[in-house]
A and B are shown apart, each in its own frame.
Chain A
Amino acid sequence: MSEQIYYEDIAVGSEITPLVKQPTTRQLVMWAGASGDYYSIHYDKDFAQSKGLPGVIVHGQLVGCFLGQLMTDWMGEQGSLRKLTCGYKSVNFPGETLICKGKINKSYIEDGEHYIECNLWVENTKGEKTVSGKALVTLPSRG
């Protein structure tokens, strides 16, 4: 675990340490088991092709959870993830390298809590943003 970050340390406009993921078909099977999402488009190539896709695709929600991990890794144990949104813009394929990134959009104090809002996105190696989202976290304060 990295060192705890504090609200006062965070500059608006700065970037979050990226998280690199490379989901394999094995990981999709593990996700299907853990999430209960057994839609065949994620493991049956013939079925996926019958739906007009080149092959099986990564579960959108798994990639969304990668963005959750990006935030929990960054905010540390004292931070809390309050909100997470993700829009699945285009599909991801197993074997692709996915880079999860974030940028600080806003920081504010409300009702004694120290909030950081971030814009998040996932890029493939072609630089395409396949998933974009937002997170709202609270961080501890040095004050």
Chain B
Amino acid sequence: MAEGSLNIEDLKGKIGMEWEPGIYEIEKGMLRQFAQAIDDPNPLWQNEEYARKSRYGGIIATPTFVLTIGFEQIQQILASISPGTILHGDTALESYQPIRPGDMITATTKITNIRERQSEKGRTVFMTFEITHINQRQELVAKCRQMIVSY
């Protein structure tokens, strides 16, 4: 990749700025599809009858499901700036309450940090994004931090 093709300077000017929030309606099928993708047979995520007798009184999402809500906002930002190689650096999830079918989740993304390093691969950029998830009752559901590496 040519040096400088990553227009990171533009992005640096957007640190702390929130992108237009995305609103996501959570359907039961999404929760099942997610559990099947991980191959996680826990009946709390899929079996209505089992989940009804649990302390949750019904199906809940796998706690990691929220990591996918609004993640495409990060991908869109990356696609707009970088033709280089993108790798996932790290993930941090803080979970405050379970997501249930029927929830309306508002996901708001912001860039919290950008740093650069010269390596044998050329310039490597480390971008940290934070997504905050709020439900239809305006309760905080989760906070996800994603660090993406691009070179």
Are A and B co-members of a single complex? yes
Among listed B8-16, B30-38, B110-118, B133-141, interface-contacting one: B30-38
Interface string of B25-61 (1 = CB under 8 A from A): 0000010011011111011100000000011000000
Could you tell me if A83 and B93 are in contact, using CB atoms closer than 8 angstroms?
yes
* Closest chain B CB from A107 CB (angstroms): 19
Query: Contact residues of A with B, CB < 8 Å?
Result: 1, 21, 27, 30-31, 33-37, 39, 41, 51-52, 59-62, 64-66, 68-69, 72-73, 77-78, 80-88, 91
Closest to A52 in B: B85
B102 / chain A contacts, CB cutoff of 8 Å = none
Please state if A21 and B39 are interface contacts (CB–CB under 8 Å).
yes
B contacts, CB < 8 Å to A: 30, 33-34, 36-40, 42-44, 54-55, 62-64, 67-68, 71-72, 75, 85-95
Q: Which 8 A-B pairs have the closest CB atoms?
A: A60-B88, A34-B37, A68-B64, A30-B37, A87-B90, A35-B68, A81-B63, A85-B92
CA distance A31 to B67 in the complex (A): 12
Which residue of B43, B62, B95 contacts A1 across the interface (Cβ within 8 Å)?
Answer: B43
Q: Are A77 and B88 in contact (CB under 8 A)?
A: no
**For residue B87, which residues in chain A have a CB less than 8 angstroms away from its CB?**
60, 88, 91
Q: Which residue of B lies closest to A59 (CB)?
A: B88
Instruction: State how many angstroms separate the Cβ of A83 from the closest Cβ of chain B.
Output: 5
Residues of B within 8 A of A84 (CB): 63-64, 91-93, 95
Instruction: Determine whether the beta carbon of B94 is less than 8 Å from that of A82.
Output: yes
Q: Is the CB of A68 within 8 A of B37?
A: no
Knowing A39-B75, A72-B63, A83-B94, the reply to whether A62 touches B54 (Cβ < 8 A) is no
Complexed CA–CA distance, A62 and B88 (Å): 11
- If A36-B68, A65-B67 touch, does A27 touch B39 (CB 8 Å cutoff)? yes
Q: Does the CB pair B39–A37 fall under 8 Å?
A: no
The answer on a CB contact under 8 Å between A33 and B33 is: yes
Query: What are 10 A-B residue pairs whose CB atoms fall within 8 Å in the complex?
Result: A27-B37, A34-B33, A41-B86, A61-B88, A61-B91, A65-B62, A69-B42, A69-B62, A82-B95, A83-B93
Question: In the complex, A33 Cα to B68 Cα: how many Å?
Answer: 11
Contact A60 B62 (CB under 8 A): no
* Complex partner residue of A39 from B42, B62, B86, CB under 8 angstroms: B86
Q: Is the CB–CB distance between A33 and B37 below 8 Å?
A: yes
